[in-house]
Amino acid sequence: LSEFSIIKTISKIVQSDRLDVRQGIGDDAAILRTPLRSDLVVAMDTLVAGVHFPVLTQPYDVGWKALAVNLSDLAAMGADPSWATLALTLPKPDNTWVAEFARGFVALARQHQLALVGGDTTRGPLTITVQAHGWVKKNKGLLRSGAQVGDGIFVSGTLGDAAAGLCLALGQTKSGCPIKVNSIGVYHRKILLQRLNKPTPRVTLGQELNRVASAAIDVSDGLAQDLGHILQASDVGAVIEVAQLPASVALKRYVSQEQECRHLQLCGGDDYELCFTVSPAKQKHLKTIEKKTGVRITRIGHIVSGHQLMLVDAKGKKMRLPQQGYRHFS
């Protein structure tokens, strides 16, 4: 029975020694011990082949990414990851594919002492749904709804790399791809593809921000859209200084025009950086957090009253939001 051989393959590879797993893979459901004085945080994300990743993506990377996008959601809540469940829909039983997938999944899981505790395997078009569980202290956690007028707006890492990587992965030469595909070197090409296929969820940063940020979200659909969710939930507006948006060396060097670069940074999806707001009084903690986590933090603007997301250039002049694009292949 192929379903059982798939489950066997996965369970062997993902073994974990967390003591809070009373019953993991292999019963009708998992039974999990819960800590005292904590609230449970649950995030669920689906990846569909050809929609959320190119169909030729390596199974190792698909496994990694399926967990990464969920850990990124937990990070944006300031949660400490504990367990995950996996629903894997496969066109045909393919143990080699499944084993590589499981290796990618567990490589990231081990970095965060997370255990895969259950799930389901079914036959159908390649689709992966992961639910990640984590913990925050009772009544703590980073919501989208806490941003206040006057708060600074910050992002981690650099923006736009995954969208540039997507152009490379699809071998786009058609209009719309802003990357100088022919001149980019192996090293930078690899970096951009890695940002697309093996994103790093900012889990430690998210937990550090718990005592500091007033609101947070992860950048999965593009900064403009995701920051928009904070603005809506917090009932505020924002001014973004476009010149401050952090760009990688690869992006700066191999994107033809400055305008194209901004487009990728504002509208490109799949970066999985954190975008968060911090009150003036608490901004002094950010240097320490940057040092402790090794993740670069950049101030990109501030919260204002109203509901608008306003972009300004280095001289404070208003700019137009570029047309949206690059979102999840659509």
For 22, counting Cβ atoms within 10 Å of its Cβ (0-12 exposed, 13-18 middle, 19+ buried), the class is exposed
Q: Binding to a copy of itself by residue 76, rule CB under 8 A?
A: yes
Q: How far apart are CA 101 and CA 61, in angstroms?
A: 7
Question: For residue 115, what are its two tokens?
Answer: 């255990």
147's CB contacts (< 8 A; 6+ apart) are 214, 215, 230, 231, 233, 234, 236, 277, 303
Question: Who contacts 281 (Cβ-Cβ below 8 Å, separation ≥6)?
Answer: none
- Residue number with CB closer to a copy of itself (128 or 177): 128
Asked whether position 147 contacts a copy of itself by CB under 8 A, the answer is no
Please identify, among the stretches 141-149, 170-178, 244-252, 300-308, the one whose residues bind a copy of itself according to the rule CB under 8 A.
141-149
**Is residue 34 part of the contact set for a copy of itself (CB under 8 A)?**
yes
217 lies in the site for a copy of itself, by CB under 8 A:
yes
Q: Is 290 helix (H, G, I), strand (E, B) or coil?
A: helix
Residue 86 or residue 245: which is nearer to a copy of itself going by CB?
86
Q: Is 66 in the site for a copy of itself (CB under 8 A)?
A: no
d(CA 43, CA 288): 28
Work out whether 330 is an interface residue with a copy of itself (CB under 8 A): yes
CB 299 within 8 A of CB 153: yes
* Whether 264 contacts 223, CB under 8 Å: no
Binding mask 170-209 for a copy of itself (x = CB under 8 A): ----------------------------------------
Of the candidate spans 45-53, 94-102, 151-159, 235-243, the one that interacts with a copy of itself by CB under 8 A turns out to be: 45-53
Q: Which is nearer to a copy of itself, 74 or 247 (CB)?
A: 74
Residue 140 vs residues 32, 60, 210, 249: alpha-carbon distances, Å: 21, 34, 7, 36
Cα 314–Cα 319–Cα 322 angle in degrees, nearest 5: 120
Q: Does 307 bind a copy of itself (CB under 8 A)?
A: no
Task: Check residue 149 for interaction with a copy of itself (CB under 8 A).
Answer: no
Choosing from 6, 13, 30, 223, the residue that interacts with a copy of itself (CB under 8 A) is: 30
Among 17, 19, 29, 316, binds a copy of itself (CB under 8 A): 29
Contact range with a copy of itself by CB under 8 A, out of 5-13, 135-143, 188-196, 306-314: 135-143
| 26 sits near a copy of itself (criterion: CB under 8 A) | yes
Interacting span for a copy of itself (CB under 8 A) from 31-39, 55-63, 264-272, 294-302: 31-39
- Which one-letter amino acid corresponds to residue 55? V
Q: Is residue 85 at the binding interface for a copy of itself, with CB under 8 A as the rule?
A: yes
The dihedral sign for the CA sequence 220, 224, 56, 255: negative
Q: How many CB atoms lie within 10 A of CB 169?
A: 17
Phi/psi region, residue 256 (left: phi>0; alpha: psi -120 to 50; beta: rest), is alpha
Question: Can residue 233 be called a binding residue for a copy of itself (CB under 8 A)?
Answer: yes
289, 297 in Cβ contact below 8 A? yes
Closer residue to a copy of itself (CB): 79 or 267 = 79
Footprint (CB under 8 A) of a copy of itself, residues 89-118: 89, 117-118
Binding region for a copy of itself (CB under 8 A):
22-23, 26-34, 36, 38-52, 73-74, 76-77, 79, 83, 85-87, 89, 117-120, 122-125, 127, 129, 131-134, 136, 138-139, 141, 143-145, 216-218, 233, 330
